[in-house]
Amino acid sequence: MTSNTSLPPSSDLLYGQVYFDIQRAHVFSDTKTFVDSVPDISPSEIVALYEQEKILPNFNLVAFVNKHFHLPSFPAPTYASDPTITPEDHINKL
């Protein structure tokens, strides 16, 4: 079965060199954080700003990303295992 709905463009298509430079520079500890971020302005505006700013001597890629994207937040894990209870008791507590 096929669907007529199309998926939105991927981050590498939206941001081009910006995307590749961020991933290559390991701005984040994983490759998913950036693609989950939300831009403050349109992708085309971000690309244009990046092309203008990246040639400046004091350009900072991390600062650029923090300025133009809302990064996803990851809540601290609150789960702590309790080795004193049985798996059944654990499931019942859920």
Cα 26 to Cα 13, 20, 30, 78, 93: the distances in Å are 19, 10, 8, 27, 40
Angle between helices 61-68 and 17-24 (to 10 degrees): 120
**How large a percentage of the chain has pLDDT more than 70?**
95
CA geometry: angle at 70 spanning 9 and 12, to 5°? 25
pLDDT above 90 for 79: no
User: Is a pLDDT exceeding 70 seen at residue 1?
Assistant: no
- Whole-number pLDDT of residue 13: 93
Region 55-70: mean pLDDT is 97
Does position 90 have pLDDT exceeding 90, yes or no? no
H/E element holding 70?
A: strand 69-70
pLDDT score recorded for residue 19: 95
